[in-house]
Amino acid sequence: MTSILLNALQYLGYILIFPGFLFCFVCGMLLCGIDRKLVARMQKRVGPPILQPFYDFFKLCGKETIIPDAASRTTFLAAPLVGLAALVVIQLFVPIHGFSAFYGMADVIVILYLLLIPALASILGAAASGSPYAGIGLSREMVTIISCELPLVLILLAIAKTVGNALGTGLCFSLSAIADYQLVHGSLITKARMIPAAIAMLLVIPGETGNHPFDAAEAETEICEGMLAEYSGGPLAVFKLSHAVKMLTLTSLFVALFLGGVGTGITAVDGVVVFILCVIVTAVSISFVHAVTARLKIEQIFKYYWTVVSGLALVSLVLAWYGL
């Protein structure tokens, strides 16, 4: 009886503290703060303090929440919460150097689909607000999702094939098996044939999180933050938090897929190492790209992802397929 209770408590701890909520909240917000600081420095600005996202979050929470007359109230209010919860659950499935809170419950294809849920939550929330700006925003968000889907699929299939070849099964979708493979064979990024896929994944991350230059869906200057146009107060704070957590989720997914390897075995140390790797990935794929580019139009985003980025991923897939 006590063991069941302890088990339940342990899992609750996973969900609420590490690698669940508290971890997501703190690390996501820190990642966001570091990103803002880095972009500012690259653009020769002083930039906000690293803790600025925390201040923003708590300030927003204290503000009034306004629901427009045209909105469908329940969907409007529930969407941010569902999106955040779904993101945290994905984070639980991403292994941290061999440590995985929920072992063997979902594979990479499932993760691909679980990533749709937060996006879908924000889309439905935006649709429920009734704003025409949100209408344009959600349309662009959906096109961005379609754009990112093809390269992501190709990357994941390339990884599945590479790992499967080594395991002798031909293909492998399991995240934990991918982590185990990297324990033995070294990080996937060290394999020459996976480098194009890794570059493609680095380019997919800003698209998935909606960062510059792939932020046509938000585009403050044209469509007033699009999907967030009617959001205020607490719900807006949750959306901002979700954005930060999404950055953490995608960068840690990148770390799990490409930068895995031998951990120290101490979860806390591994957690810190993974976070540092996440910061580096963020710096490369989000901050640097943000600092040097201007916003793309939505049709350019689509074209870019389905030609350049997909092309890179396809190179890896073909190389993996023929075992080169």
Partner 1 sequence: MSMLNYHHFPIYSIMVLFFGAFLIAAIGGRDIAKNRKTTGVRAFIPLLATAASLAFLIALIKPVMLGGEVIAYWMGSRGISNGYAIGIALEVDALSLFFALLIATALFVSAVYSIKYMEHDDNIGQYYILYCMLGGGVLGLVLSGDIFNMFIMVEILTFAAVALTAFRTKVYGALEAAFKYLVVGCMGSTLILTGVIMLYAQYHTLNLAQLAALIPGTMNNATKLAFALLYIGFSTKAFIVPFHPLAADAHGAAPASISVLISGVLTKSGIYGIIRLTYFLFQTMELGAMQFMLVFVGSVSMFVCVTMALAQHDFKRLLAFHSISQIGYVLAAVGLSTALGISAGLYHAMNHTLFKGLLFLAAGAVLHETGTTDLGKLGGLSKKMPHTTVLFLIGAFSISGVPPFNGFASKWMIYQATYQKAVETGNIGFLLVTIIALITSVLTLASFVKVSQSVFFGQLPAEYENVKEVPFGMRLAMGILAVLCVITGLVPQLVTRYLTEPAARAVFRVGDYISSMGFASQTPAPAVSFAQVGVWEPISWLLILCIALLAVTIVAVAGKYDRVSVRSSETVDTKYQLFYGGEDNFHSQVGGGDLFWGFKHNWRHYFSFMHDLHSGIVNDYALWAVVALALSIVFVMIVL
- Three-class SS of residue 262? coil
- For partner 1, the binding residues in 104-123 under the rule CB under 8 A are 104-107, 109-110, 112-114, 116-117, 120, 123
Q: Which residues contact 5 (CB under 8 A, 6 or more apart)?
A: none
> Closest distance between partner 1 and the C-beta of residue 174, in Å?
6
> Which listed range, 136-144, 181-189, 257-265, 287-295, lies at the site for partner 1 (CB under 8 A)?
136-144
x/- letters, 155..174, toward partner 1 (CB under 8 A): --x--xx--x----xxxxxx
Nearest of 98, 110, 84 to residue 25 by alpha carbon: 84
Residue placing its CB nearer to partner 1 in the complex, 44 or 323: 323
Q: Residue 3 corresponds to which amino acid?
A: S
Residue placing its CB nearer to partner 1 in the complex, 47 or 135: 135
Structure-token match 């680095």, residue found? 202
Among 55, 280, 297, 311, interactor with partner 1 by CB under 8 A: 297
Among 207, 235, 260, 271, interactor with partner 1 by CB under 8 A: 235
CB 260 within 8 A of CB 97: yes
Among 42, 50, 61, 166, interactor with partner 1 by CB under 8 A: 61
Q: Which residues contact 67 (CB under 8 A, 6 or more apart)?
A: 73, 76, 77
> Closest distance between partner 1 and the C-beta of residue 112, in Å?
8
- CA distance linking residue 90 with residue 114, whole number of Å: 7
Among 31, 34, 39, 92, interactor with partner 1 by CB under 8 A: 92
SS3 per residue for 233-281: HHHHHHHHHHHHHHHHHHHHHHHHHHCCCCCCCCHHHHHHHHHHHHHHH
Among 132, 186, 265, 311, interactor with partner 1 by CB under 8 A: 132
- For partner 1, the binding residues in 169-228 under the rule CB under 8 A are 169-174, 216, 224
Count residues binding partner 1 (CB under 8 A): 87
- For partner 1, the binding residues in 9-28 under the rule CB under 8 A are 12, 15-16, 20-21
Token pair belonging to 149: 């889907």
CA 17 to chain centre: 19
> Closest distance between partner 1 and the C-beta of residue 111, in Å?
10
- CA distance linking residue 258 with residue 44, whole number of Å: 32
- For partner 1, the binding residues in 250-289 under the rule CB under 8 A are none
Task: Answer yes or no whether residue 94 interacts with partner 1 by CB under 8 A.
Answer: no
Task: Answer yes or no whether residue 88 interacts with partner 1 by CB under 8 A.
Answer: yes
Token pair belonging to 94: 């991403």
Task: Answer yes or no whether residue 4 interacts with partner 1 by CB under 8 A.
Answer: no
> Closest distance between partner 1 and the C-beta of residue 70, in Å?
5
Task: Answer yes or no whether residue 311 interacts with partner 1 by CB under 8 A.
Answer: no
CA 219 to chain centre: 19
Q: How far is CA 31 from CA 25, 52, 104, 117, in A?
A: 10, 11, 28, 22
Task: Answer yes or no whether residue 64 interacts with partner 1 by CB under 8 A.
Answer: yes
Instruction: Report the length, in residues, of the chain.
Output: 324
Among 40, 50, 85, 166, interactor with partner 1 by CB under 8 A: 85
Residue placing its CB nearer to partner 1 in the complex, 35 or 208: 208
Task: Answer yes or no whether residue 244 interacts with partner 1 by CB under 8 A.
Answer: no
Among 48, 50, 54, 75, interactor with partner 1 by CB under 8 A: 75
Kindly tell me the burial class for residue 183, based on how many C-beta atoms sit within 10 Å of its own C-beta (0-12, 13-18, 19 or more). Answer: middle
Phi, psi of 184 (to 5 degrees): -85, -50
Q: Residue 76 corresponds to which amino acid?
A: F
- CA distance linking residue 148 with residue 116, whole number of Å: 11
Among 33, 38, 100, 131, interactor with partner 1 by CB under 8 A: 131
